Structure 1
Amino acid sequence: MKVMNYLNLNQHPAHLQFYRNRTNAFAEIYHAHQGMEILIVHEGTGTVVVEQQIFDLVPGRLFYFKPFQLHRIRMNELAQQSYIRSFFVFEPALLDSCLVAFPSTREFFQKLWKDPLSIQNISGLNTDALHNLLHTHQQNIEHAKPEHLLEEQLFFLISLMHHLKTSYPLTNYERSAERTSQVKSSSLAEKVMEWIEIHYMEPFELSQLAQAIHLSPNHISAVFKQMVGSSIIEYLTARRIRQACWLLKSSDLPIQGIGRAVGLGNFSYFCQMFKKHVGMTPYQFKKTPRM
């Protein structure tokens, strides 16, 4: 289980893939990464786990994930089902600076980027218009000279934000966000994730979780595995490593203190787990420059 996908946004601030067929190469992992991610599903069905919620993944739906936000894509295991998606990861601050001349589009983008009540997915889009937009810019980007590549990529992202704002007005977004904040799902898996969100910085005991939810440990473990596709321990570890990455980049805490802050008080074990899931030591990750 690799938690941190590091996409070298320090070297180039946009990583765009159009209509990529991931049917035979897709790996179900918890991951978080530098930059904001937009995912558009063209073929395939499954689920998305993000912010202690589980959403249906279906063709025509768009998901977005904030920088270092832990999420997991799980495809349904159906024979002959293909998975084709477009995938855009970029530094949001750079796009935000490009949107200064377009205030209403910038306001819409900033809600997706920064609003704590953002709903993480957009459905009901005009798929024909969206495909036309993607195909047009895909051609421009693929044929761009290296010195013009970033300009074409940013122009596409500006156009995409304008399209989303026009197709999915801010008033609809605000109504959906309000509705989402009022109607909280009560599924068992989401209750487990909510409990972990409160207690991930403490030593974990499955019996304590079971007692809080009033079900047996075996039942909770089995249902969570069935609904999310991973064990509770795998999810807990991913949440801890994601928080450690965030603290390493955003705080002045010593590395040993960060281990304690995420529930991994044994310093050697924390460093071992971090390197296993991120691919580098906590010290190396902290020293890696950001945009």
Structure 2
Amino acid sequence: MSAGFDAISFQGSPILWNKRHQTISPGISFYHWHQCCELLLVFGGSGTIIINNQTYPIREGMIFIFQPFEIHKVFARSTDDIPYDRTVVHLNHLHIEPYLRSFPRRHQMLDTLCYSRDMKRAFELGEHFEAVQQCMEDYEQIAHEDRGATQEEITVFMLRLLSVLEKVIPENLYSSPVQWRHEEYSERIMSWIEDNYMENDILNRLANELHLTRSYISRVFKKETGSNLSEYLTAKRIKIAAHLLESTSTPVEIIAHQIGFQNVSHFISCFKKTYRITPLQYRLKAKASNA
């Protein structure tokens, strides 16, 4: 999986469910986005989430909403004593939306959550946290019984979930026509890099492709994402390298050149900075865990 666009494979179901999961290792984060709506329910831990150049704290009892093709970065602080504990749900909103047309209020809410430029992305659930948790646990049980992909069960789940969220989302945000979120320059930049990350002279090529100046591209990317373009490009290349190290036997030196590094030593240094071990150590560790 590459840094940047992370395509979610629903495999025939409108909902992709990631079980409740705890992390105790130090956080590693990347800017990325999906083609679908993502819900992140936090049971415990701390850290920060960046969405649209806004930073939100990670706290127990919060739910975060990432809209389709909206770049975001999650950095969780995890320890043995305080793990990062969460559930992630991806919604194929285009598939689910027709199920709610007989329920205009809930239908409007789903559109607002997925598309509104004015919608907040983080909510403190407070006393409603247990209701959201129960809703998700009930659907997870149904999914294990192979009924999770049916229109009836998905409709029931979405109606329950949206009914709870209605209690924490201000009504004025979903009671009027959706003001659609416009595509950020950073999204166009990241989309272009998705296909051209291995090339040299990225900034000049981007300037020609987008008909913008080099300095403006750098400034607008920093403004919209909170990260330097060079940092994002390096993060993308390193994440692709990790995948190649796990899935192929290609020598480290060749991988470095394939992903756009001209200097192998620089690649190893960047990789260690991200994963805290060398590429070879990472490969050996991945093989051992899959043995």
The corresponding residue for 1:134 is: 136
- What CA distance in whole angstroms lies between the structure 1 residues aligned with 2:159 and 2:94? 13
Q: Which amino acid aligns with 2:133?
A: H
Q: Deviations over 1:217-262 (max 9, x none)?
A: xxxx9xx9xx97x7652236789xxxxxxxxxxxxxxxxxxxxxxx
Q: Give deviations 1:55-112, integer Å, cap 9, x for gaps.
A: 1111111111111211110012556320111111021112211111111111111111
Counterpart position of 1:9: 10
Cross-structure match for 1:43? 44
TM superposition shift of 1:11: 3.9
Task: Name the CA distance, whole Å, in 1 between partners of 2:189 and 2:157.
Answer: 41
* 1:235 paired residue number: 232
TM superposition shift of 1:38: 0.8
Amino acid of the structure 2 residue aligned with 1:161? L
Amino acid aligned to 1:75:
A
The aligned counterpart of 2:32 is 31
TM-score, with length taken from structure 2: 0.58
Indicate the percent of aligned positions where both proteins have the same amino acid. Answer: 19
Q: Distance in 2 between matches of 1:52 and 1:238?
A: 18
Equivalent residues in 2 for 1:1-291 (5 A)?
2-9=3-10, 11-24=12-25, 27-76=28-77, 78=79, 80-125=81-126, 126-142=128-144, 144=145, 146=146, 148-151=147-150, 152-171=153-172, 203=204, 208=215, 232-235=229-232
Contact 1:9 1:35 in 2 (8 A): no
Kept after mapping to 1: 8 A contact 2:36/2:68? yes
Q: Distance in 1 between matches of 2:79 and 2:15?
A: 33
CA RMSD of aligned residues (A): 4.1
Relative to structure 2, which stretch is displaced further, 154-163 or 88-97? Answer: 154-163
Q: CA offsets, 1:201-230, max 9 Å, x none?
A: 96489x958x979xxxxxxx9xx9xx97x7
Superposition deviation, residue 138 in structure 1: 2.4
Alpha-carbon distance change, 154 to 92 in structure 1, aligned in 2, over 3 angstroms: same
Q: Is the 8 A contact 1:196 1:236 kept in 2?
A: no
Letter aligned with residue 235 of structure 1: Y
> What are structure 2's unaligned runs of at least 5 residues?
193-202, 208-213, 237-257, 261-291
Cα offset for 1:172? 6.7
The amino acid that maps onto 1:17 is: N
Query: 2 CA distance for matches of 1:18 and 1:163?
Result: 20
| Contact kept? 2:25, 2:78, Cα under 8 Å | no
Q: Which amino acid aligns with 2:232?
A: Y
How far apart in 1 are the matches of 2:149 and 2:77? Answer: 35
- Counterpart residue identity of residue 72, structure 1: K
Tell which deviates more after alignment, 85-94 or 117-126: 117-126
Point out where structure 1 has 5 or more consecutive residues left out of the alignment: 179-193, 214-220, 240-270, 274-291
